[in-house]
Amino acid sequence: MGQMETLKESSTGITKKKMRISGSEAVILSLLEEGVDTVFGYPGGAIMPIYDALYGYKEQLNHYLVRHEQGAAHAAQGYARVTGKVGVCFATSGPGATNLMTGIADAQIDSTPIVCITGQVVAHLLGTDAFQESDILGISMPITKWNFQVTKAEEIPAAIARAFYIAKTGRPGPVLIDITKNAQSAELDFEYTPCKKIRSYHPYPVIQDKDIMDAAKVINNAKKPFLLSGHGVLISGAEKAVLALSEKANIPVASTLLGLSSFPPDHPNYVGYLGMHGNYAPNVLTNECDVLIAIGMRFDDRVTGDVNQYAKKAKVVHIEIDPAEIDKIIKTEVAINADANQALECLLPYINKADHSEWINEFRKLDKIEYDKVIKNDLYPTSDKIKMGEVVRLISEISKGEAIVVTDVGQHQMIANRYYKYKKPNHIVTSGGLGTMGFALPAAMGAQIGKMKEKVISIAGDGGFQMTLQELGTIFQYNIPVKIVVLNNNFLGMVRQWQQLFFKKRYSFTEMTNPDFIKIADGYGIVANRVEQREDLEKALQTMYDHDGPYFLEVKVEMEENVFPMVPSGDSVSNIRLE
Amino acid sequence: MTDIYQDSPEQLGEKQYTISILTEDKPGLLNTVTIVFTRRKLNIDMINVSASEVAGVSRYTIVLTTTKDQVEKVVKQIRKHVDVLGAFVYEEDAIHYQEIALYKVPTEIFMDSVEVEQIVRANNARILVIERDYTVIEKTGHKEETSALFNTLKKYGVLEFVRSGRIAVSKSKRKTEAYLEELENSTTHSLYNNNGTVK
């Protein structure tokens, strides 16, 4: 115990000299060495020694007991996305670890740095179908950036050092470290050295001068350049550089779903958001531009629609840190394989000033059409029932765009991402690539813990909310002041919309009979309210926003509302429908 | 019954590529390499994994029939794995390659005539072991050559036939050790070997 006390005292920069401690304590100390102060997790048989060690470090390491391991993974993601730090979660072997997988897959496809530490049965039982044994290394292999099984205590510090280095560098992603119970219990001489280099791993490619020159030439010769700003811009902190490029060469900028908040939405060069339910102008004019500058994005099929009819008039300049993304979907004229910010810093001096105001005006003309046909009615509807768009507009107005909005997946997600007027980078968090229903509540919880001074609003539909609503328990237990909005249309709305448009209105298993959400929130001790009438909406949202502590608000919205614009799946982006 | 197998390679504009991979020698690496193929429903024609001339480094040789576009994407995905040191794709004319085949035949077929012995000689094969009941013939060569010998021996009764995956060396003069050293000091590496013909 005396030894532990010494370690605790020295735990900020800590543990220079070798100390004889257990593997479990080494896990905790390694996390402290990496600057971790928050962990989301759930204990169980095979990770009990680590939880026992954690008990001695409750002051330094805030552990949040989630209600399901999927919640731990999403919370770690939400935490990582708003803080830029690595999110950490713990789970036990077998079902504990398999429950993490959805969050890990989500983190992988949305480039989110998380480190998952799972317990595993004792080494000599591996492969014997022991109690709560499953092949977590095998299961997580295709959905992690790196994974590793520790079977000896001595391996722990190096494995964790490597895990953090890999998770946060280059294109970030999830790492899983599976630690057998014997390695947790055994002792080692602990010494921590952060990982700075792996010979087989080169996270930051060196910029080639030729690529910069070639890109500058293509951009300088453009008549109708168009810049797409992706998640990579936020990850590399290239927001200012993108802004500078856009302003210098007068280039219109659109954002991908994950790239939202990488460019100020009220800037005259901002033309909206791309993709299936994105804005009208950027989708249509993708097929008119002569140079497409794609930064930190991967041409997801929800962005491109039919690739054979995508940006056919354009030379493509792709700035991307992951070489496997270059030429994967869209063939490039010039590729700069590099960190977005570094690449833009090199590129900017070679970019000529230009005036493309006529070209930008083309976007504005289409914006007008979208406003008249879609946006006006979404934001200021005259229907009897409340529409999702007006809820998001009011949230935007009440929060002045200062709140962090975390969305789930479906119609409300598209609406929230279309209409929330965020003011700062990383103030809109969503599950993009994987489209994980159930993401919002736990991710918002993690985001709130990462940014306790900011307001965090979770927006979910009635379907997605019920996939992870047990995290209300976590929110209650730790009094996490997240604001929870459920837009309830008693339908799996997006699927219903597709059934209406593409499956002859055969509403196969999309209608939901929901519980009394207010009672549920009330059962968890969370202040709750329900709104059904438009005249009550603003006040209800304001009350929620001003509430000190967690708050649940159910908004009953129009049952059969559709999200437009919409690029029908597999169609060209220029065939985007407004109705 | 619908045929669940795909169209012939020629119909799809496919050809055979050899992928050469260097990885750290760690458990599970084979799995991480092969799931790249599994996920894209690509069938590996041949695979050979073994220690390279550099301690702690494994070399994989994988033969795949696919399109150029697909093989390039696969190699990029393989390279993306943290413990992969390098991966290169070659068309046939950029490598020297060989396979080895073993044929287990009844020893008595050598007793009745000299035919089999002549076949062994003519095919540049050799006798590996002779047991009372069986004899093992060994032949190295390309698949067509080892298959041809199998077809010739078939009528004498082949008890067992096994052929290895391809092993290949590039026509480049670069030493593996030099490559690894370069890797230690560099931060980027090209998708193609300096003598690779692809691209």
Asked if B183 lies within 8 A of A200 by C-beta distance, the reply is: yes
Domains B15-90+168-185 and B98-163 share a fold: yes
User: By the CB < 8 Å criterion, does B73 face chain A?
Assistant: yes
A575 lies in a domain? Answer: no
* Residue of B39, B73, B82 with shortest CB distance to A166: B82
Residue-averaged pLDDT of chain A: 96
Cα–Cα dist B170/A546, whole Å? 68
Q: What is the reported pLDDT for A8?
A: 41
Considering only the top CATH level, what class is B98-163?
alpha beta
Give the active site residue among A132, A309, A470, A500: A132
Contact A29, A7 (CB under 8 A): yes
Assess whether A403 and A316 both reside in one domain. no
Mean pLDDT across A474-501: 97
Assess whether A400 and A324 both reside in one domain. no
Q: Tell me which residue has tokens 């532990």.
A: A4
Cα–Cα dist B70/A268, whole Å? 41
Q: What is the reported pLDDT for B13?
A: 83
Length of chain A, in residues? 579
Contact A375, A421 (CB under 8 A): no
Asked if A200 lies within 8 A of B32 by C-beta distance, the reply is: no
Q: Encode pLDDT of A150-206 as tens digits.
A: 999 999 999 999 999 999 999 999 999 999 999 999 999 999 999 999 999 999 999
Instruction: Please state which of the ranges A134-143, A282-291, A479-488, B10-19 shows the lowest mean pLDDT.
Output: B10-19
State whether residue A262 is helix, strand or coil.
coil
Query: Catalytic residue at A69?
Result: yes
**Percentage of chain A lying above the pLDDT 90 cut:** 96
Q: Encode pLDDT of B72-131 as tens digits.
A: 999 999 999 999 999 999 998 999 999 999 999 999 999 988 999 999 999 999 999 999
State the smallest CA–CA distance between residue B26 and chain A in angstroms: 10
User: By the CB < 8 Å criterion, does B189 face chain A?
Assistant: yes
State the smallest CA–CA distance between residue B94 and chain A in angstroms: 23
Instruction: Please state which of the ranges A59-68, A405-414, B165-174 shows the lowest mean pLDDT.
Output: B165-174
A372 lies in a domain? Answer: no
Q: What is the reported pLDDT for A328?
A: 96
Burial B146-178 (b: 16+ CB within 10 A, else e): beebeebbeebebeebebebbbbebeeeeebee
Q: What is the reported pLDDT for B112?
A: 81
Q: What is the reported pLDDT for B174?
A: 79
Residue-averaged pLDDT of chain B: 88
Asked if A324 lies within 8 A of B76 by C-beta distance, the reply is: yes
Q: What is the reported pLDDT for B179?
A: 80
Given a cut of 70, whether residue B5 has pLDDT beyond it is no
Query: Catalytic residue at A181?
Result: yes
**Percentage of chain B lying above the pLDDT 70 cut:** 87
ipTM: 0.90
Give the active site residue among A131, A365, A505, A560: A131
The count of domains in chain A is: 3
Q: What is the reported pLDDT for A232?
A: 98
- What are the chain B neighbours of A202 within 8 Å (beta carbons)? 186-189
We report the CATH number of the domain holding residue A14 as 3.40.50.970
Chain A residue set in contact with B, beta carbons under 8 Å: 137-138, 141-142, 145-146, 149, 166, 198-202, 204-206, 322-324, 327-328, 337
Q: Quick one: pLDDT band at residue A11, thresholds 50, 70, 90?
A: very low
Given a cut of 80, whether residue A461 has pLDDT beyond it is yes
Cα–Cα dist A499/A491, whole Å? 12
Q: Encode pLDDT of A319-338 as tens digits.
A: 999 999 999 999 999 999 99
Closest Cα in chain A to B184? A199
* Residue of A138, A141, A206 with shortest CB distance to B187: A206
Domain ranges of chain B: 15-90+168-185, 98-163
Q: What is the reported pLDDT for A15?
A: 58
Q: What is the reported pLDDT for B2?
A: 56
State whether residue A237 is helix, strand or coil.
coil
A521 lies in a domain? Answer: yes
- What are the chain B neighbours of A205 within 8 Å (beta carbons)? 187-188
Asked if A200 lies within 8 A of B83 by C-beta distance, the reply is: yes
Q: Encode pLDDT of A47-89 as tens digits.
A: 999 999 999 999 999 999 999 999 999 999 999 999 999 999 9
Instruction: Please state which of the ranges A13-22, A142-151, A269-278, B72-81 shows the lowest mean pLDDT.
Output: A13-22
Identify the domain containing residue A135 by its residue range: 2-190
* Beta-carbon pairs below 8 A across chains A and B: 53
Mean pLDDT across A82-105: 98
Q: Quick one: pLDDT band at residue B175, thresholds 50, 70, 90?
A: confident
Identify the CATH number of the domain defined by range B15-90+168-185: 3.30.70.260
The residue among A150, A168, A195, A200 with the most chain B CBs within 10 A of its CB, best to mutate, is A200
A57 lies in a domain? Answer: yes
Query: Catalytic residue at A491?
Result: no
Question: Any idea what DSSP says for residue A142?
Answer: G
